[in-house]
Structure 1
Amino acid sequence: MQMGTDEMESTSKLIFMKNFLLLSCLIAVFPSFAQKGKLFIIGGGKRPPELVQRMLQEATLDKGGYAVIIPFASSEPDSAVFYAKQQFSERNIKVFAILHSTLSQNALDSVKNAKLIYFTGGDQNKLMKTIRTTALYQAIWQCYEQGGMIAGTSAGAAVMSKKMITGNEKRYPAYSQTFQTIEAENIEFGEGMGFLEKTIIDQHFLVRSRHNRLLSAVIEFPEYLCVGIDEATAILVQNKNAEVVGDSQVIVFENPKKSKIKQGIKLGGKNLRVSVYVAGEKFKIR
């Protein structure tokens, strides 16, 4: 018995609706399924013109649109905005700054529809404390999920990870800039934006000799990829692929055998994997 035309159209519509609802459910349950934005993660320090130009091109700002600066990591947000704006305005890019975490719906829509959201440097803990429970946090994620670029330097790089290095040492709070030991339970972590779920980002990496910190991390948390980005250098991330951009290198630590030796508070590990990437090289990120 053959179906009539109306019956076939009705069946096709029903199948379409079922598939649409299934896709909607998948996106709701697994939000990363819908993510299609880019990340531009800068290790701090100076930003070479070529690096800035690549960031703007990848965000398609050369074809219109605008950027948004979020300076809440800085202790002097007005100054942070002033210097960050220069790299946009001298290239005739329209840019706005967000100076308050409580925003009107129009302002939130502007964040959501930006081509690029840029986090300045400073203190990543201060940044996350300011925005974590706000509608601004959600607007930033919406921007990313609908194809926008999220960029950040220094503290703005650290927040890209879900497991965020705070910069503090638990055992030796008087130490500054770098870790002098490879020890258990010494790294303090907070919760970052979570654009990278299984990658830990460290910044100013070679300049400040932060190898001990990431070695400690990769031994204690072997399921994570640990990425150290040097100054004047960035990684461009899209679809779990990372490309090195800039003047220096990116160091990646992996612990494929999940090796962990603990002797008192000292940490050891065997057959750890270390890769040193230069500009133009690519690697998989988690």
Structure 2
Amino acid sequence: MVENQPGAIALVGSGEYLPQAQALDSELLRLAISRGKSNTFIQIPTAAGKEGSDSLNFWKARGADQGRRIGCEVKYLPVLTREDAHNQQWIADVSNAGLIYFSGGDPVHLADTFRDTPLWSAIVLAWKSGASLAGCSAGAMAFGGKIIGIRRSHVSEGLNLLPDIEVIPHYDKFLGWLPDRVTAAIVRQDADANLIGIDEDTALVLTDSWRKHGSGQVHILRGNLEFS
């Protein structure tokens, strides 16, 4: 067992909690357990918080199904407001969790809800002591220093977990739907961070180095980040 070592970070292009993501989710959890964390999978649906109860219940059920396939305890934390991000029970829940997973929706809402809160501080501390963190789509975008608006031309502050990274998820689809917006993101004059396009059903995972996982491609659109 290796304790007090940072956990993995997974930037996922799409497909959170689906069977095709089971191998990656299992690996992330196994790695955290090897670093002293519990066999517990935390679902955080905040990015979908503005979509209503049907959407939240959908993600809750899908995550519970994944937990059953993996064989782990699942805890669903409906963090919908900044006040929720001060919940002491949820802060305790993340402290020894093996996998903390941020699902998709609105990345700006996610970042604005968590920024400078006790729960986000607890999650970062959990990661620094071995927990695996995963963000899919909006979750992956929010982990960066900046959030790039693809549907609308806008740049917002991320959670700065990975300050030198900006993410475009669903890259293979966005490139076909909105090629001009993708091009604008790449050539932004005020940016020097690594800009990464991650295809659907694909992840870029950081352990001791970056590596690709899944059926699609990872595209380094700006910068010189290396992965295998």
Shorter-chain TM-score range: 0.7 to 0.9
Out of 41, 53, 57, the residue aligned to residue 23 of structure 2 is: 53
Q: Return the offset for 1:221.
A: 4.2
Structure 2 residue 191 is matched with structure 1 residue 217 = no
Corresponding residue SS for 2:174: coil
Q: Which has the higher helix share?
A: 2
Structure 2 residue 164 is matched with structure 1 residue 198 = yes
Aligned to 1:9: none
Unpaired runs of at least 5, structure 1: 1-33, 170-186, 257-274, 276-281
After the TM superposition, which residues 1-286 of structure 1 pair with which residues of structure 2 at under 5 Å, given as runs? 36-45=6-15, 49=19, 51-60=21-30, 64-74=38-48, 75=51, 76-100=55-79, 101-169=84-152, 187-209=153-175, 212-219=180-187, 220-221=189-190, 223-239=192-208, 241-254=209-222, 283=227
Corresponding residue SS for 1:79: helix
Q: Deviations over 1:199-236 (max 9, x none)?
A: 11001101221554443333224522110001111111
Q: Return the offset for 1:98.
A: 0.6
Q: Deviations over 1:92-150 (max 9, x none)?
A: 21110111424543431211221111011111122122222421111111111112111
Distance 1:156 1:40 in 2: 10
Q: Percent identity?
A: 25
Q: Return the offset for 1:50.
A: 5.1
1:162/1:196 contact within 8 Å kept = yes
Distance 2:216 2:17 in 1: 11
Q: Return the offset for 1:91.
A: 2.2
Task: Compare 64-73 and 76-85 and name the one that shifted more.
Answer: 76-85
Quickly say closer, same or farther: Cα 1:47–1:80, change in 2 above 3 A.
closer
1:200/1:226 contact within 8 Å kept = yes
Q: Which amino acid aligns with 2:72?
A: I
1:161/1:199 contact within 8 Å kept = yes
Distance 1:108 1:124 in 2: 21
Equivalent residue pairs, number: 209
2:45/2:102 contact within 8 Å kept = yes
Rg bigger for which structure? Answer: 1
Q: Which amino acid aligns with 1:37?
A: G
TM-score for the superposition, normalised by structure 1: 0.65
Q: Return the offset for 1:85.
A: 2.1
Q: Which amino acid aligns with 1:131?
A: F
Corresponding residue SS for 1:157: helix
Distance 1:95 1:48 in 2: 15
Distance 1:164 1:145 in 2: 23
1:48/1:247 contact within 8 Å kept = no
Unpaired runs of at least 5, structure 2: none
Corresponding residue SS for 1:193: coil
Distance 1:131 1:49 in 2: 28
Q: Return the offset for 1:37.
A: 2.1
Aligned-residue Cα RMSD (Å) equals: 2.7
Quickly say closer, same or farther: Cα 1:255–1:244, change in 2 above 3 A.
closer
Distance 2:223 2:46 in 1: 34
